[in-house]
Structure 1
Amino acid sequence: MQLNSMDGSPEPFGATCGLMKMSDGINIRWARWAPTDNGVKGTVTLVQGRAEFIEKYYEVISDLRARGFYVFAFDLRGQGGSQRLLGNVHKGHVSSFQRYVDDLHEILDRAVLSDLPGPHYLLAHSTGAAIVMTAHQRLRTQIERAVLSSPLVELNMHATALKAARTLAGGLVAVGLGGSFVPFGTPWSALPFDNNPLTSDAVRFARTQHWLEMFPELSIGSPTVGWFWTVSRALKRLQKPEFGLAYSVPSLVITAGSDAVVSSRASEAVCRSAPMMGHININGAHHEILMERDAYRAQFWAAFDAFIPGCA
């Protein structure tokens, strides 16, 4: 299993990559890099968002390596270069949110904590941040700190529409239609730049779209009803008042002030009740802060460097 390169976004040199078979038989694509800086500050494991892939994070990986970190990245099951879970490979599907959590634990146990130097940190985006939050009880003995970018605590939808969508999804799953696209879902993830909810940076947006055009096998489209249903149930647990009090991993939550994908307010509410969480909001940034304009990315990295020991 190899990584891909394209003009303007080559594979960062020195990669080791492969497939790892999970305990349930699903193959997960992974890659790792050594730091380019002389001093080693530890290891950062990237936990990506829905519909993302390792290649999309080449710039972030280079940023981390330059800071002195080993970097470990992997594609979530059902997307990127990892094994797809349905016959239609363009459906964004998972049968249980716990599968994501189990994969993270297994990857850390088998390939990160055992092979790469500590201290260990996590950098997680959106769905990846929800995975980390759900996994916190075990992670507290394995990692030092986590940085959570635009965490998926709740979708940015009107409460009435969200409730109706979840009621419908529960009914469809109950009658065996969990593998269907969500209503109005499509098999393609290509978007026009105008009014896109992900980033205000035209160059970085175009780069991601070019990846999908050049390597369509990395792409997935809309989520399935089953994905929406199981993720909704996981988010309900994150929103309980007692969750924040019990959360046990020292974490920095960085929200996007103009996020139209997830609810920054929901993330802020968790942070207010969580002694182990700090919070910073980047005004004006869209959902994918790390794919944003340089001014927004600079704010993100300044917060990261202040929070992660040895970076300031």
Structure 2
Amino acid sequence: MTPILHATPDNPIPGNHMVGFFEGAGGTKLRYAIFKSKATVSKGTVVLLQGRNESIEKYAETIGELTARGLWVATFDWRGQAGSERLLKHRRRGHVRRFADYERDLAIFLEQIVLPDTRLPFFMLAHSMGALIALSQAPLLASRIDRLAITAPFVALGAQKVGHRMIGILATTFTLLGLGSLPLMRDKGPLPFSENLLTSDSRRFARNKALTDAHPELALGPPSARWLHETFKAIKRIASHDHLTQVRVPTIVLAPTQDRLVPHLAVEALARNFRAGHMIPIDGARHELFQEADHYRAQAIAAIEAFIPGSGNENPEPVREIALAD
């Protein structure tokens, strides 16, 4: 398996990058990439954590904007999705054995890839499932990252025929019966734009669909029961007052108010107990802020740029050259 990034006509991959694999927890092969800014000095590195059923390629536009601001970007595909090793014979089924595997993968990435191969200071930008993993690890990140920005954190599941609680009961039952690798819903394939819950921007929706049409190996179908069981346990844990009071990293929570996948009220409830975090609502936006219409997306980018101190750093770290592929 050769580590490559897939470009499409509407989604070019930013240049000046390197791509490879690293071994995550249990030896699972995970695809990663580092994108170097063309600026003569580095303003730091953004560790970009994707959501479920996303890929490095999907963030090409956002990565290009961050590197244009003098920041490097380090990112990787979570286990079981995109260009990383899949965990089931049914490749389209999203699965994880233990939520802790995600956490260990992130710790390994920070230690073995980000620390030696990128530039200080470090910031983290995490979306949806990636935001849940970042929040879970946040009490341990104070010595590793300077700031944390999360978007639409996966802290509840909405837009389903049955409620979050019932889905959790079903997922736990399937898992305890040894049926955790099975999904709770049928794989209907990709939805048309008119039925999607992720973005109101038809152009970016079409761009992302063209990517997975050209490279279907990057896409996922429904999650397994065990994936739901493990993530729901993590949601309950990170939403507790005891956990949130241990978070010391300054954090912003970008919350799209028209998010039907992760109910806005659940994000508000999280923010109320989050002393280190400050919630910024993006009024009218849907779940995927970085795939949204320009007027929503620009608000998110502006908030992140204002929050990351590297954008105004007068004494950034000098760049040391490393071997990077164009």
TM over 0.5: yes
Look up the match of 1:115: 117
Please state if 1:44 is matched with 2:46: yes
- Aligned to 2:163, the other structure's residue is in SS state helix
How far apart in 2 are the matches of 1:187 and 1:197? 15
Contact 1:92–1:224 (Cα < 8 Å) also in 2: yes
1:157-183 C-alpha deviation (Å, 9 max, x unpaired) = 58972222211211111111000012x
How far apart in 2 are the matches of 1:248 and 1:269? 19
Aligned runs of 1:25-64 on 2, under 5 Å? Answer: 25-64=27-66
How far apart in 2 are the matches of 1:111 and 1:168? 38
How far apart in 1 are the matches of 2:159 and 2:12? 37
Deviation at 1:240, TM superposition (A): 1.6
- Aligned to 1:9, the other structure's residue is in SS state coil
1:26-54 C-alpha deviation (Å, 9 max, x unpaired) = 00000111112334210001100000001
How far apart in 2 are the matches of 1:159 and 1:73? 34
Look up the match of 2:71: 69
Look up the match of 2:272: 272
Which of 66, 72, 97 matches 2:99?
97
Look up the match of 2:317: none
Deviation at 1:298, TM superposition (A): 0.9
How far apart in 2 are the matches of 1:246 and 1:161? 30
Any gaps of 5 or more consecutive residues in structure 2?
A: 313-326
Look up the match of 1:239: 239
Contact 1:152–1:263 (Cα < 8 Å) also in 2: no
Deviation at 1:310, TM superposition (A): 3.5
TM-score under structure 1 normalisation?
A: 0.96
- Aligned to 1:24, the other structure's residue is in SS state helix
How far apart in 1 are the matches of 2:16 and 2:5? 11
1:57-102 C-alpha deviation (Å, 9 max, x unpaired) = 0001001001111111100000000000001111000111111111
Deviation at 1:287, TM superposition (A): 0.2
How far apart in 1 are the matches of 2:117 and 2:311? 22
Percent identity of equivalent pairs? 37
Structure 1 consecutive aligned stretches of length 4 or more whose deviation exceeds 4 Å: 157-160
Look up the match of 1:185: 186
How far apart in 2 are the matches of 1:70 and 1:158? 38
Look up the match of 1:171: 173
Contact 2:156–2:164 (Cα < 8 Å) also in 1: no
Look up the match of 2:322: none
Contact 1:257–1:286 (Cα < 8 Å) also in 2: yes
1:209-229 C-alpha deviation (Å, 9 max, x unpaired) = 111100011111110111011
Look up the match of 2:305: 305
- Aligned to 2:78, the other structure's residue is in SS state coil
One-letter amino acid matched to 1:300: A
Contact 2:16–2:37 (Cα < 8 Å) also in 1: no
1:237-263 C-alpha deviation (Å, 9 max, x unpaired) = 122232322222211100001001112
Instruction: Give the structure, 1 or 2, with the largest relative contact order (CA under 8 Å, sep 6 or more).
Output: 2
Aligned runs of 1:112-261 on 2, under 5 Å? Answer: 112-156=114-158, 161-182=163-184, 184-186=185-187, 188=189, 190-261=190-261
One-letter amino acid matched to 1:111: I
Change (3 A) 1:92 1:61: same
Contact 1:198–1:287 (Cα < 8 Å) also in 2: yes
Contact 1:246–1:274 (Cα < 8 Å) also in 2: no
Contact 1:90–1:187 (Cα < 8 Å) also in 2: no
One-letter amino acid matched to 1:311: S
Deviation at 1:195, TM superposition (A): 3.1
Change (3 A) 1:158 1:240: farther
- Aligned to 2:31, the other structure's residue is in SS state strand
How far apart in 2 are the matches of 1:270 and 1:179? 30
Deviation at 1:116, TM superposition (A): 1.0
Change (3 A) 1:142 1:112: same
Which of 17, 20, 24 matches 2:19?
17
Deviation at 1:118, TM superposition (A): 0.5
Contact 1:244–1:271 (Cα < 8 Å) also in 2: no
- Aligned to 2:4, the other structure's residue is in SS state coil
